[in-house]
Amino acid sequence: MDKILGSFVVVGFALPWYFTQRATGSVVAGCSAGLGGLVLAVVILLWLSVQRDRYQGAWQRRCDLRHLRSDLSAIDEMSGVEFEEFVAAQLRTRGWGVAHTASTGDYGVDLIATNNGTRMAVQCKRQAKPVGVAAVQQVVSGAAHHGCHQTVVVTNQGFTKAARQLATTHRCRLVGREQLHIWAGSTSNTARPRAQGQRMQPEPEG
């Protein structure tokens, strides 16, 4: 993409310069035309960049809205990637910026959420049984690698006793099925974003 943009800028200068100098025989006129073409090319690139950002923002909002309307039965049928998108949508409505980690070498972290200088490592577990202690171990160790200050494990199920105990030790938040039931299909989520930086509620112990 950078090569294409660079080529567009070069062409924006070269074509007016070449044809103007050829037509007038004046180097000064050619350079002036080339500079004018260069300015026009930059303006066009900036406009295209703004339009691209608007399109991507609108597309992301449509995707988030679709995920926010998912109920628990739909969540249970999601793939792992779709569940990550669901969790990312929930975080964005709560004022967090969200970035996906690489599919390989993520060190147990699926999403990195940022808000007011805070970096939070999130592991997403869409599965058919309670999440065990390994998920907590992975996200806690992965958080250090990604420079995160907080850790969260989100699942459509519950957590084992060992997972809850280790999460308490490491101050890792656990978001399970009960919290997802509050999230899923919540009309308040789709109507307006939550307050900036609102915390994800941990699953109750028990």
Among 32, 65, 98, the domain boundary falls at 65
> Does the model's pTM come out above 0.75?
no
Instruction: Provide mean pLDDT across the span 178-204.
Output: 52
Query: What tokens does 191 get?
Result: 């109507």
pLDDT tens track for 129-170: 999 999 999 999 999 999 999 999 999 999 999 999 999 999
Do 81 and 167 fall within a single domain? Answer: yes
Residue 12 lies in a domain: yes
Question: Does 112 have pLDDT greater than 50?
Answer: yes
Helix axes of 27-68 and 2-24: crossing angle, nearest 10 degrees: 150
What is the extent of the structural domain holding 85?
A: 69-191
Do 16 and 98 fall within a single domain? Answer: no
CATH number of domain containing 148: 3.40.1350.10
Do 125 and 100 fall within a single domain? Answer: yes
Of 3, 34, 6, nearest to 20 (Cα)? 34
Do 90 and 21 fall within a single domain? Answer: no
Is there a contact between 156 and 72 (Cβ–Cβ < 8 Å)? yes
Do 43 and 135 fall within a single domain? Answer: no
Question: Does 126 have pLDDT greater than 90?
Answer: yes
Count the domains in the chain.
Answer: 2
Instruction: Provide mean pLDDT across the span 168-177.
Output: 94
| Region label for 33, one of left (φ > 0), alpha (ψ between -120 and 50) or beta (otherwise) | alpha
Do 169 and 104 fall within a single domain? Answer: yes
Strand order in the sheet with 173-175: 97-100, 111-115, 118-125, 150-155, 173-175
pLDDT of residue 196: 41
Do 25 and 89 fall within a single domain? Answer: no
pLDDT of residue 83: 93
Do 61 and 136 fall within a single domain? Answer: no
